[in-house]
Amino acid sequence: MTSWYTEQQNGKPYCMPQCDVCGLRYDAYGLYDDKEQAAADAVNDGWQAWPDLYHADWDCRCPQHWSVRCETCKRYVAQADRTGFNGWLFDRDNNDMRVGVCDQCLARMDTLPALELGAWPIFHPSHQRIDKWQALKILEEAAEVVDATKEAIRSVTVMDGRTLVNRAHLVDEIADLLQTVTNLCAAFGITAADLGFARTECTIKSLKRGMFDKEPRTRMHRKDEQ
């Protein structure tokens, strides 16, 4: 079944989206001479479209016949009313309402172990500026964290079956790094709400990559590791 209903008017083609499953036509605004606008209006009213909104042979589903796959756990629902996916998070930025993160995977995010880094004070505005030097300070502090990490690795000893490591210097350097990150956020007006949203997006990407499951390390993996 085609995703477009078309008819000629005064020798010009007009169209409206049509559900691939049941043939229901999206006729909220009548016929369109612009497929891009027709597709955008349909999606805004709860229809589903892929692979992209404006392709000539795009596929679509009406609100009663969504088809969805979770990018994280690969859970697939071939056909269901869109209201059944209210707990899902979809990739609206890429205009792909077929795929997203299911409610079960999103609920799992609340159970993941987390490290609370606390609130960090912000330096006086005279010490902040929207320039590359504010960012380079982070690079400097990050390099010192790496050096402190190497130092901590060299200090590792095993005593009575326990692994001991001198991490005091590393903790100090991490604190310096977090302070400079805080200042960079303040300089560019980045808020806790901004970071909270970005943290969710970052966690979702990590879920999709399996970073919270037991697997071999990815980019850090070495063949000689057991």
Cα-based distances in Å from 132 to 77, 125, 157, 198? 47, 16, 40, 22
Q: Give bridge partners of residue 164 from the DSSP assignment.
A: 157
For the chain, the average pLDDT equals 87
Cα-based distances in Å from 98 to 17, 175, 210? 17, 42, 21
Which of 65-79, 85-99, 122-136 is predicted least confidently?
Answer: 85-99
Q: How far is 153 from 161, CA to CA, in rounded Å? A: 17
Structure confidence at residue 54 (pLDDT):
47
Q: How far is 49 from 41, CA to CA, in rounded Å? A: 11
Residue 80 gets which letter from DSSP?
E
Tell me the DSSP string of 115-180.
Answer: ------PPPPGGG--SSHHHHHHHHHHHHHHHHHHHHHHHT-EEETTEEE---HHHHHHHHHHHHH
pLDDT at 60 over 90: no
Structure confidence at residue 219 (pLDDT):
64
pLDDT at 159 over 70: yes
CB 25 within 8 A of CB 5: yes
Q: Give bridge partners of residue 9 from the DSSP assignment.
A: 12
Structure confidence at residue 86 (pLDDT):
87
Question: Domains in the chain, start-ordered, CATH in brackets?
Answer: 8-109 (no CATH), 125-208 (1.10.287)
Structure confidence at residue 194 (pLDDT):
95
pLDDT at 150 over 90: yes
Give residue-wise pLDDT tens across range 174-219: 999 999 999 999 999 999 999 998 998 899 889 888 899 888 776 6
Question: Residue range 123-129: average pLDDT?
Answer: 93
- What letters, b where the CB count within 10 A reaches 16 and e where it falls short, cover 141-175? bbebbeebeeebeeeeeeeeeeeeeeeebbeebbe
pLDDT at 53 over 50: no
Single-letter amino acid code for the residue at 159:
M
Question: Residue range 6-21: average pLDDT?
Answer: 92
Which is higher by pLDDT, 45 or 36? 45
Structure confidence at residue 93 (pLDDT):
58
